[in-house]
Amino acid sequence: MRFVFKTSYAQDLGLFRDGVQRNWYLALFVGLLVLPVLVPTYLVDVSLVLIYGLAGLSLMVLAGYTGLVSLGHAAFLGIGAYAHVYFAQNLGLPWVVAVALAAVLTAAAGVLVGLPALRMTGVYLTIATLAFALIIQEVFVQWEPVTGGLRGKPVDKPVIFGLPFSSDVTFYFLCVVVLMGGLWLTGNVLRSPTGRAWVAIRDSEIAAQSMGVNLAVYKTMAFAYSAGLMGIAGALFAHKVGFLAPDIFSVLLSIQLLLMVVVGGLGSLHGALFGAVFVALLPVAISQARDSLPAWVGSATGIFGKSASTAAYLGVDRFVKQPGLEPGIFGLILVLFILFEPLGIYGRWLKLRIFFSTFPLYKRATFKRQKTYMRSERLR
Amino acid sequence: MTSGGASRYNLPTPQRERNTLDIILQLVLNGLAVGCIYGLVALGFVLIYKATELVNFAQGDLMMLGAFTCYMFVVWYGFGYWVAFAVAVVTVGLFGAALDSLVLRRVLGQPQFAVVMLTIGLGAIFRSFASMTWGSEIYTLPTPFSAHTTRIGGVSVSHEYVSIIVGTILLCAILYAFFTYTKVGVAMQAASQNQLAAYYMGIPVKLMFSLIWAISAGVAAIAGVLLAPVSLIDINLGFIGLKAFAAAVLGGFGSIPGALVGGLTIGLIELCSGAYLPHGFKDVAAYVVLLAVLAIRPQGMFGTAGRKKV
Amino acid sequence: MTFFKAEGLAINFGGIRALDGVTFEVEPGQIFTIIGPNGAGKTTIFNLVSRIYDPTEGRLIFRDEDITAVAPHEIARRGIARTFQNIELFEHATVLQNLLLGRHAHRRSRFVEELLFLPRVRALELEHREAVEKVIDFLDLQPYRDSLIANLPYGARKVVEMARALCTQPRLLLLDEPSSGLNVEETDDMAFWIQDIRTLLGITVLMVEHDMRLVSAVSDRVLALNYGRPIALGGAREVQEHPEVVKAYLGG
């Protein structure tokens, strides 16, 4: 068992727990840098993972740290995307300015949603954000001069300070830099009074108030910061997909984003990243399974005879080739995680780590969940 | 996926010469009928919420399952309409009860949004299941009311809309009588207000909750079957559930009559938006109302605001 | 200067008059206790002072200022801190993070500065940490510094709750049933701490309590409530022997 030996208060202030953890992350960063050399064909997918990571970060700040669960974050992604493309292409502003303006605009939209949200608690807020997202989607359809409506809007490759970022490799590094920046900023906020106030709002609004936290201001700030980050993710997302259409930013995407943070593990930055990897790789895994699962099942049931094997193969083949399977699998995974692993992938990772570090003294009750049954306890 | 359920209601064209009154009446009936559907789905939400403080985001998808089940029994197995109706309602009701006892009971006690996410996931599973079992096209359900109209006082009245309105009234009357006058109904009310006290009085609370889920799912199924002739059946039928949220919130999330009044109000608001505002606003009118209610008066028309006791 | 005064406080919850005509004054450096049977409205008074509820009638005055209409989050800044009857700690955070939150009223950094974690923010954070460590030393919470609240026993949580309130550096501390759920030894510790808070830290204490031993040991003045109405006000001994208090609450 490794003890973290603390010698100064400043150590607790750092972004990393100690030198060892920092070195691990440094190694991870180096790995990210050399990735283009190792897997050049998958760079586009990895870029998407990074963008999802930024989006997950944004939602994690709002839902995981402040406890304001939003089912409408796809709307912010869309606002950021459309705004950035409009500023960069229609108005011809420099790329960095366009992204900054898009982030500001999205943050303003976040404030707009946040203000009425101050009077709502729990599920009502979730429903309100859902309604907001549906309204914004319709705005995307209707506001043709800016968004191109249902016809869609093509997106050029980014050109920053005159340098084109059109290749996969350059775009990948752009995403890496932006994600690192987002992580650094968010880490900073979370270790300062604002971050603590957000966590306080999540755990007990009344106690937070009595400690001097102005709920209205901090909730609005959480919305604004989360939306701003999402706006930046939206700008990168626009470049990644190359073509914007209103039906990209649907309720389904909002659900996917929420799935990302829940499956990843609410309440930690790692969770956002784990979730992003999961959600981005799941469609890939499903399509791989589509191709290989029938054959595998066919050979596995071979012991029961040729006809059984062929029947199994055809049956599984017909099952996995159906359209409409993907949302079902997402739903199933979401349900299974909530039922059996509410702390998400990061939670499972923590449990494993603690198991190994406290072996053989691991207590099963270490992660026992606190349940609240009384009606008055649930109203926060 | 198109934005939140774009106009899907087919207006039947009267065979005779149209006059303005005819059109207006049809539109009003359409609005009221749609409002009744919203009200029924909202009723399902509120029943579950009052009992277990859960918000069931899969309510609309239960409605879709009800419509598809009825379709299956009528078109695939050749049952009569009424028999298929009854079978569909019972099946979906039992399914709802099973859902409660097998899945939802495990998450009771977890923070609310976890349960919300669970129901969202369940909804996605239902949609996927429907797509795989019945296919992802649009289907029509033949009913005794389809494309029939009656002339009353010089204007044509479509049977489909009337069936919805009459069906809703009947259902509400039955539910009211059930909850007020039968022992089981009163027991359910008790269980939803104070679980511990209900246990002490010998009420089997878990069974009551499963029953509430069964009734709620059954109501959703009825709404689905009633809606089927007006709006064709497809896997995205459940997105009406989102608008029913607006109805439930407008009426006040803990109030049953509120859900119905809210539904009718939303139906009429949609009607007016469709008539007076540019195309496309009709779809989001319900959500604008939802946001307005949540911002100005979160407890809706009949609900009460709750607060934590410290 | 009027340090703290409640004048004619009354509040209705629907048809129920939970408090009626409650008037009392607390001098600086006093330990003032409110006693009474359950449902008498003691915690309601606290909730009024914390501005969680609005009074139907009456005024609250703190250090010559009328705080009856002040926003709830302003109360901490003005120097009033409280603990809660059913502990309201932040369950998923460590003790240290809970206590640091208690310093929120003294936050002097701006959001943009925090975003970039400028050296000024770092220096302020270290200041907050020093202040919190003083409270940890005062209440002997060193072994619990990095524990998650969810892993702490009830007695420890009560102490952390009090520590968090102390981190606010209040002038007036509201303690809601500080000894409930504590055994005899822990209650004795609590009595000493309350006296130290008054004597060493110079904080005035207003508390609600059921344990008469604790009340007699530490209180300077006592107010007895019954059904929302004050029935006796005076020294600890005086109130405990008051016939109405005996009839309504103490028995015997």
Q: What residues contact residue A227 under an 8 Å CB cut-off, 6+ apart?
A: A58, A76, A79, A106, A107, A109, A110, A111, A113
Closest-CA distance, B222 to chain C, in angstroms, reads 39
C43: which chain B residues are within 8 Å (Cβ-Cβ)? 310
Give the single-character DSSP code of B140: -
A372: which chain B residues are within 8 Å (Cβ-Cβ)? 109, 111
- Given a contact cutoff of 8 angstroms between Cβ atoms, the answer to whether C231 and C225 are in contact is yes
Whether residue B150 is predicted with pLDDT greater than 90 in this model: the reply is no
Whether residues A200 and C101 touch (CB distance < 8 A) is answered with yes
Nearest to A72 by CA among A49, A95, A84, A55: A55
CATH architecture assigned to C1-79+170-252: 3-Layer(aba) Sandwich (3.40)
C85: which chain B residues are within 8 Å (Cβ-Cβ)? 310
A124: which chain B residues are within 8 Å (Cβ-Cβ)? 249, 253, 294, 298
pLDDT value of residue B201? 83
Closest-CA distance, A197 to chain C, in angstroms, reads 7
Can you give the pTM of this predicted structure?
A: 0.87
Give the single-character DSSP code of B10: P
Helix (H) or strand (E) holding C7: strand C4-13
Whether residues C105 and A211 touch (CB distance < 8 A) is answered with yes
Whether residue B258 is contained in a domain is answered as: no
Q: What residues contact residue A38 under an 8 Å CB cut-off, 6+ apart?
A: none
Give the single-character DSSP code of A245: -
The DSSP string of A76-138 is HHHHHHHHHHIIIIIS---HHHHHHHHHHHHHHHHHHHHHHHTT--HHHHHHHHHHHHHHHHH
For chain C, domain boundaries: 1-79+170-252, 89-168
The B-side interface with C (CB below 8 A) comprises 310
Of C84, C115, C122, the CB nearest to A207: C84
Whether residue B167 is contained in a domain is answered as: yes
B310: which chain C residues are within 8 Å (Cβ-Cβ)? 43, 47, 52, 84-86, 88
Whether residue B309 is predicted with pLDDT greater than 80 in this model: the reply is no
Interchain contact A190–C (C-beta under 8 A): no
What one-letter code names the amino acid at B34? V
Give chain B's domain count. 1
Helix (H) or strand (E) holding C65: strand C65-66
Q: Is the peptide bond before A360 cis (omega within 30 degrees of 0)?
A: yes
Whether residue B204 is predicted with pLDDT greater than 80 in this model: the reply is yes
A195: which chain C residues are within 8 Å (Cβ-Cβ)? 114
C79: which chain A residues are within 8 Å (Cβ-Cβ)? none
Whether residue B203 is contained in a domain is answered as: yes
Whether residues B295 and A330 touch (CB distance < 8 A) is answered with no
| Neighbours, chain B (3 or more CB pairs < 8 A) | A, C
Number of helices (H), then strands (E), in chain B: 12, 2
pLDDT value of residue B305? 59
Whether residues A212 and C105 touch (CB distance < 8 A) is answered with yes
Closest-CA distance, A76 to chain B, in angstroms, reads 16
Closest B-chain CA to A119: B295
For chain A, domain boundaries: 1-38, 39-278
B189-192 long-range CB contacts below 8 Å, 24 or more apart?
Answer: B191/B51, B192/B50, B192/B51, B192/B52
pLDDT value of residue B308? 52
Residues of chain A with pLDDT below 50 are 374-380
* Count of CB pairs separated by less than 8 Å, A with B: 168
Rounded to an integer, what distance in angstroms lies between the CA atom of residue B30 and that of residue B38? Answer: 12
Of B4, B283, B298, the CB nearest to A124: B298
Query: Chain-centre distance of CA A369, in angstroms?
Result: 24
Strand locations in chain B (E): 149-152, 155-158
Closest-CA distance, A226 to chain C, in angstroms, reads 13
Helix (H) or strand (E) holding B38: helix B20-52
Q: Residue B70 to residues A30, B60, B300, C237: CA-CA distances in angstroms?
A: 59, 16, 34, 78
pLDDT value of residue B240? 84
Pairing of strands C221-226, C204-208: unpaired
Whether residue B23 is contained in a domain is answered as: no
Other C-beta atoms closer than 10 Å to the C-beta of B136 total 14
C111: which chain A residues are within 8 Å (Cβ-Cβ)? 189, 194, 221
pLDDT class of B8 with cuts at 50, 70, 90:
low
Whether residues B288 and A135 touch (CB distance < 8 A) is answered with yes
**Helix spans in chain A (H):** 9-13, 19-38, 43-59, 73-85, 95-117, 122-142, 144-147, 168-190, 193-203, 205-210, 215-241, 251-264, 269-300, 306-320, 325-340, 344-358, 375-378
Whether residues C114 and A194 touch (CB distance < 8 A) is answered with yes
A189: which chain C residues are within 8 Å (Cβ-Cβ)? 111, 114-115
C86: which chain B residues are within 8 Å (Cβ-Cβ)? 310
Rounded to an integer, what distance in angstroms lies between the CA atom of residue A321 and that of residue A124? Answer: 38
When computed from its CA atoms, the radius of gyration of chain C, rounded to whole angstroms, is 19
Rounded to an integer, what distance in angstroms lies between the CA atom of residue C243 and that of residue C131? Answer: 46
pLDDT value of residue B7? 46
Pairing of strands C172-176, C204-208: parallel
Closest-CA distance, B52 to chain C, in angstroms, reads 23
Q: What is the ipTM of this complex?
A: 0.90
Pairing of strands C221-226, B149-152: unpaired
Query: Could you say which residues from 73 to 132 on chain C have a Cβ atom under 8 Å away from some Cβ of chain B?
Result: 84-86, 88
Mean pLDDT of chain B: 81
Predicted confidence (pLDDT) per residue in C147-160, tens digit: 888 888 888 999 99
Mutate to test the interface with A, among C107, C134, C154, C169 (most CBs of A within 10 A): C107
pLDDT value of residue A375? 46
Closest C-chain CA to B309: C86
Record the tokens describing residue B309, joined without a space: 């006791």
Residues in chain B: 310
Closest A-chain CA to C168: A211
Query: Chain-centre distance of CA C209, in angstroms?
Result: 11
Closest-CA distance, C125 to chain A, in angstroms, reads 7
Q: Residue C89 to residues A132, A259, C84, C99: CA-CA distances in angstroms?
A: 33, 28, 9, 10
Closest-CA distance, B309 to chain A, in angstroms, reads 6
A126: which chain B residues are within 8 Å (Cβ-Cβ)? 113, 116
Give the single-character DSSP code of C107: -
Angle in degrees, CA A13, A17, A22, rounded to 5 = 115
Record the tokens describing residue B34, joined without a space: 């749609």
Whether residues B129 and A141 touch (CB distance < 8 A) is answered with no
> What is the domain range of residue B79?
29-237
Closest B-chain CA to A248: B1
Residues of chain C with pLDDT below 50 are none
Whether residue B263 is contained in a domain is answered as: no
Whether residue B14 is predicted with pLDDT greater than 60 in this model: the reply is no
Q: What residues contact residue A303 under an 8 Å CB cut-off, 6+ apart?
A: none
Of B121, B242, B291, the CB nearest to A335: B121
Nearest to B263 by CA among B282, B289, B295: B289
pLDDT value of residue A315? 75
Predicted confidence (pLDDT) per residue in B61-112, tens digit: 999 999 999 988 888 888 888 888 999 999 999 999 999 888 888 887 677 7
| Neighbours, chain A (3 or more CB pairs < 8 A) | B, C
